[in-house]
Amino acid sequence: MFWVKKLLSQLAMPVPFVCLLLLLVFLFWRHRRLARPLSLLALTLLVLLSSVWGSNLLLRPLESSYGVNNQAITGACLVMVLGSGHDDSLAGSATQQLSPVALARLTEGLRQLTLGQDCKLMVSGWNGETNSRSHARVMADAAMELGVAEDKILLLPLARDTIEEAEYAKFQIADAPFRLVTSATHMPRSMQIFTAQGLQPEAAPTDFLAREDYWWRLDARQLLASQRAIHEYLGQLWFRLKQEQDQSEV
């Protein structure tokens, strides 16, 4: 089911979906009543999703759910940073191997550590079957490069997605409150998943994507932002369906 989920979500992303529409246009070119609406739909989606007003329309409901967390951490201090990919074939330090999203999350995680006393950092993520090291290991190495002591880092190297991150975290965190760091678009779904496991996460979002720009400008950055928002909406739907299935089996 993990790979089925990944495949279906990939087909629903903007570029593959527009390509699929264009393929249908090519196949049904002689049927103008079908080809013309498909062409118009493909063009409309491309313009909408690559514009600032289109991407912000998708992003703002997600990113406005939780604000930046500057509250001091009292009592036991644990900060969990969710993974977001790396490439360990790249030469250089661990921080350079992290994806821009992963580096943004780790940076916020380190800032959260300064808001408490004697804090521990938890990082997660598998190797994706394309890397020799787990994402958790690379995140830990990057954190140490940035000044975190090795004995203050906990790893969840087998978690493949957010659901598994929550499941693995439950064994180490139990019911203790902790700071949960992830991208602002991903935070609403992450909070749903972690609270469903009986955990007590405190949201600490980062990597905000909604920006103001010229309304007429179309670029790949907005298209990528739209893609990440769509991925989250699909993820929320998938999690809701999974919960309903689990409840029906009880």
Secondary structure, 3-state, 29-71: CCCHHHHHHHHHHHHHHHHHHCEHHHHHHHHHHHHCCCCCCCC
In a domain, residue 171? The reply is yes
pLDDT bin (cut points 50, 70, 90) of residue 232 is very high
Co-location of 160 and 241 in the same domain: no
In a domain, residue 144? The reply is yes
Angle at 245 between CA 240 and CA 249, to 5 degrees: 150
Q: Tell me what pLDDT residue 129 has.
A: 87
Co-location of 58 and 82 in the same domain: no
| Helices and strands of the chain, counted as H and E runs | 10, 5
Q: Tell me what pLDDT residue 91 has.
A: 85
pLDDT at 17 over 90: yes
Predicted model pTM: 0.92
The residue segments making up the domain with residue 13 are: 2-63+221-249
pLDDT at 12 over 90: no
189 half-sphere exposure, CB direction, 13 A CA radius: 25
Look at the chain and count its residues: 250
Co-location of 170 and 241 in the same domain: no
Co-location of 59 and 82 in the same domain: no
Co-location of 115 and 188 in the same domain: yes
Give how many domains the chain has, as a whole number.
2
In a domain, residue 211? The reply is no
Which DSSP state fits 150? G
pLDDT bin (cut points 50, 70, 90) of residue 250 is low
pLDDT bin (cut points 50, 70, 90) of residue 1 is low
In a domain, residue 84? The reply is yes
pLDDT, tens digit (0-9, with 9 covering 90-100), for 175-222 = 889 999 999 999 999 999 999 999 999 999 999 999 999 889 999 999
In a domain, residue 70? The reply is no
Co-location of 153 and 184 in the same domain: yes
Angle at 144 between CA 140 and CA 145, to 5 degrees: 115
**Using an 8 Å Cβ cutoff, are 238 and 5 in contact?**
yes
Q: Tell me what pLDDT residue 245 has.
A: 83
Co-location of 243 and 145 in the same domain: no
Co-location of 121 and 167 in the same domain: yes
pLDDT at 9 over 90: no
Which of 108, 132, 135, 111 lies closest to 123, judged by CA? 135
Q: What is the mean pLDDT of the chain?
A: 94
Q: Tell me what pLDDT residue 175 has.
A: 82
Sign (positive/negative) of CA torsion 153, 159, 160, 161? negative
pLDDT, tens digit (0-9, with 9 covering 90-100), for 55-91 = 999 999 999 999 999 999 998 899 999 999 999 999 8
How many other CB atoms are there within 10 angstroms of residue 14's CB atom?
17
What CATH number is attached to the domain comprising 158?
A: 3.40.50.620
pLDDT, tens digit (0-9, with 9 covering 90-100), for 81-102 = 999 999 999 988 999 999 999 9
Co-location of 143 and 187 in the same domain: yes
